[in-house]
Amino acid sequence: MPLRIRCPHCHRTLVAEDEAAGQGKLCPACGKGFTVPIPVRETPPQIRVGDTCPKCGADIAPGTPFCPRCYFDLAAGKRLPLRRRLQFVPLRTWTLAGLGLVAAIAAAFLGVHVYRDHARPRTRPSSAPVAEAGDAGADLAAAWAQRLLVATAAAERLEAFEALLRIGPQALTALAPLLEEASASQSPSNLAAAVELFARSDDGRWLELLRRLPLPEEVRPAALEARALLGDSEVGPELLELWLGALRRQLFLTRVLELAPGPEAAANDALTARLRSRTERYAEAIRGLAEPPDSTLLDQALAACWDSWSWLGQQRAEAFTTELFELAKPPKRRHLDFKSRVRAARTALERAAQRAAPAARAAAALVLTEGAPQYRSLRQRMIATLATVMPDSEPQAQQRIAWTLARLTSHKFDGRSGDDNPADFGRAAIEDALRWARSAQIGTPGPLRAAGPYPQPPLLTRRVITPQRQLEEHLLHEFAAGWQALPAALDRWATGGLSCTPRVERLLNPGQRQPHYPTLAAAIVLAGVCDAQHLRPQLDLWRQATDQPAWVRGLAHTALGVLDARRGAGWTSGWPSELTTEALALSGNEPLDLELWGRLLAAGGPRLLTRLEQAPPHSLSEALRAKLVRAAEEAGRRTARQP
């Protein structure tokens, strides 16, 4: 009787003769070999093969090594490895799994967008009632408008402002006659809040009202801002002056706080943030007026770039050019993305570089390079335009254009670079810039025709110096006064809170052949006392300076020991192995005795003194070692008495 068997590899049902039982055959479907099972056979004692799967209970064909449902290996007593199980998964299953994964990704993407939409900040709900239709709504709007103009506290003013904002256009209709009748005695903050309501309406019908309002001088900036937001181009120049003034105060305060940070950091941060917010409000209003292609407001702002050089706290107009690039972008209320706003700023600056005055063109190229350096081809076109217009420009504009070319191309013209002042560029530098442009085939510049003399560089008559900088300069002069003034100057240096400043670091320049020894000694001591780990190379060179006195080498060696003790990571200097009696003598009469060494030993702390006590006796005598310990103790007591 023919046997119906199943291929153990592909599970295809086959028919075999009785004589083939127990013989090896090849599957005609998959081509793999297997042994034809014998109908009557012994089953393993643990697992009943040919009956059901011991794991899932599925029927198993005779001779099958594993369950076709759960892939349980009958011989090993466990499931097949994952890699082998995946080989038996049909294509249809893989297709359905892929479609399910795509659906899951799409659902997650949609869920993220829905979450962001719900998480977006909404207008804060107000406790004020919403206006009703008809006369009741008008009366409610009039009541809230009256409360806004007579508010005596910020919270009351904010509540009325939000209520009127929720009411909508009907609130402005009720507020307009009250605002026209307002007297100068009313609070400027209330009037400014009322004006802002009209600006937020985005309705040009209220523009004429804002023009004729008898507002006090304190509210005029808010009125100008509101008129600009409603599209009144007449206020552009005046609003630009307000923006320049606010930006100047902001940059000045930022620079002052950088030089001399005060103890009230929170108050200073709040003041800076308030100035920055005011500057940004003016800038947002200007952006709307400067956006039309025929507006020249951005050209006027670019021309002011060169005037900002005289602002205190400005250096080569870096901060101002950053603000100009932000000003060239479209208004933020349009909700444009970052790339769109940058492209719009590029277009506006390119337009200004083609039509503005020569100095403003140079400022446009500078602003574009600082704000968007990725537009290289546009920058090259601007450079070519500047080289073309420079010969026929005014002398001052020629200086500014030449400086801009030096700044953008990193070239030096007659020794002048972009790090100099534009007024340092004279006729020779400008002619050199034109020759460079012709040789590089940048533009087609003609001959130079300057009408009148070039402006001279500004003379520095005032300089802002912080109290710490003044004290440092005074004490450096005291160091140079000689050995007798050195101890008192070092004490004042410590009480003044000064560290190892860059000017002190320059005193440790190892290239000095004949240094001023009191100043050098003070610098070595300060390097150790102030824990200036970065000065190790300089101190090590002074330690090995055989052309210098032995005390210079010994003092530098001790400063390195102090740095080792302060760092706590091993004694790389080997101190005090090179410290000898000869090295402890400053000069023939020893004017300071061991005072400087005492300062260094006190700065090194107990680790340094312990190492001094453990030094071998052949390097230092017991008497000299005791003197050093007493000098360190005296220096420690003197430091403890200092405030």
| Identity of residue 236 | G
Q: What is the pLDDT of residue 300?
A: 93
Same domain, 54 and 185: no
Percent of the chain topping pLDDT 90: 15
First to last CA, the chain: 114
Average pLDDT, the chain: 81
Whether 535 maps to a domain, the answer reads: yes
Contact 443, 437 (CB under 8 A): yes
The pLDDT score that the predictor gives to residue 585 is: 59
478, 617: one domain: yes
Question: Smallest Cα–Cα separation from 566: which of 535, 538, 594?
Answer: 535
pLDDT score, position 79: 79
Cβ pair 210, 226 in contact under 8 A:
yes
What pLDDT shows up at residue 36? 78
Average pLDDT on 303-326 reads 80
Residues 543 and 592 in one domain: yes
Task: Give tens-digit pLDDT for 510-564.
Answer: 887 788 889 999 999 999 999 999 999 999 999 888 888 888 888 899 899 999 9
Q: Are residues 488 and 620 in the same domain?
A: yes
- Phi–psi pair at 6, nearest 5 degrees: -125, 130
Q: How confident is the model at residue 42 (pLDDT cuts 50, 70, 90)?
A: very low
C-beta separation of 635 from 592 below 8 A: no
611 occurs within a structural domain: yes
Task: Give the residue from 181, 213, 231 where a domain finishes.
Answer: 231
619 and 520 in a common domain? yes
Structure tokens at 617: 């006796």
By DSSP bridging, strand 13-16 and strand 3-6 are: antiparallel
In a domain, 362, yes or no: no
* CB 265, CB 257: distance < 8 Å: no
What is the C-alpha separation between 263 and 135, in angstroms, rounded?
A: 57
State pLDDT tens for residues 141-199.
888 888 888 888 888 889 888 888 888 888 888 888 888 777 666 788 888 888 888 88
Confidence check: pLDDT of 421 > 80: yes
Instruction: Indicate the SS3 state at residue 146.
Output: helix
Question: Is residue 560 situated within a structural domain?
Answer: yes
Q: How far is CA 438 from CA 166, 400, 411, 431, 434, in A?
A: 64, 19, 14, 11, 6
Q: How confident is the model at residue 642, as a pLDDT?
A: 63
Instruction: With CA atoms as reference, report the closest residue to 308 among 317, 298, 297, 321.
Output: 317
Residue 126: per-residue pLDDT: 41
Q: What are the DSSP calls for 461-488, one per residue?
A: ------HHHHHHHHHHHHHTT-STTHHH
3-state secondary structure of 340: helix
The answer on 534 and 576 residing in a single domain is yes
Q: How far is the C-alpha of 288 from the C-alpha of 65, rounded, in Å? A: 79
Strand duo 3-6 + 33-35: pairing: unpaired
Q: Are residues 37 and 26 in the same domain?
A: yes
pLDDT at 364 over 90: yes
To the question of pTM greater than 0.75 for the whole model, the response is: no
With a cut of 60, say whether residue 324 has pLDDT above it.
yes
Residues 124-156, buried b or exposed e (16+ Cβ, 10 A)? Answer: eebebeebeeeeebbebbbebbebbbebeeeee
CB-based burial label for 186 (10 Å; 0-12, 13-18, 19+): middle
Least confident of 23-27, 117-121, 595-599: 117-121
* 170 close to 200: Cβ distance less than 8 angstroms: no
Q: Is residue 191 within 8 Å of 145, Cβ to Cβ?
A: no
Domain match, 57 and 31 both = no
pLDDT tens for 463-483 read: 667 788 888 989 999 998 888
CA diameter of the chain:
127
Same domain, 570 and 538: yes
pLDDT higher than 50, residue 591? no
Residue 401 confidence (pLDDT)? 92
CA–CA separation, 128 and 300 (whole Å)? 44
Which residues lie below 8 Å from residue 642, measured CB to CB, with a gap of 6+? Answer: 491, 494, 495
Q: What is the mean pLDDT of residues 299-311?
A: 87
Q: Are residues 502 and 536 in the same domain?
A: yes
Residue 586 pLDDT exceeds 60: no
* Domain interval for residue 488: 470-641
Strands 3-6 and 78-79, sheet pairing: unpaired
Is 494 inside a domain boundary?
yes
Q: What confidence score (pLDDT) does residue 139 get?
A: 83
Asked if residue 101 has pLDDT above 50, the reply is: yes
Mean pLDDT to the nearest integer, 56-71:
77
Pair 17, 148 in one domain: no
Res. 130: pLDDT tops 50: no
Complete DSSP assignment for 251-307: HHHHHHHHHS--S-HHHHHHHHHHHHHHHHHHHHHHHHHH-STT--HHHHHHHTTTG
User: Which of 89, 114, 145 is where one domain is finished?
Assistant: 89
Contact 570, 564 (CB under 8 A): yes
Q: Is residue 127 domain-resident?
A: no
Label residue 129 by pLDDT band (50, 70, 90): very low
567 shares a domain with 475: yes
Whether residue 271 has pLDDT greater than 80: yes
pLDDT over threshold 60, residue 46: no
Identify the pLDDT of residue 44: 46
Banded model confidence at residue 352, pLDDT cuts 50, 70, 90: very high
Per the domain annotation, does 280 fall within a domain? Answer: no
Is a pLDDT exceeding 70 seen at residue 123?
A: no
For 236-252, what is the mean pLDDT?
A: 90
Residue 609 belongs to a domain: yes
Count of domains for the chain: 4
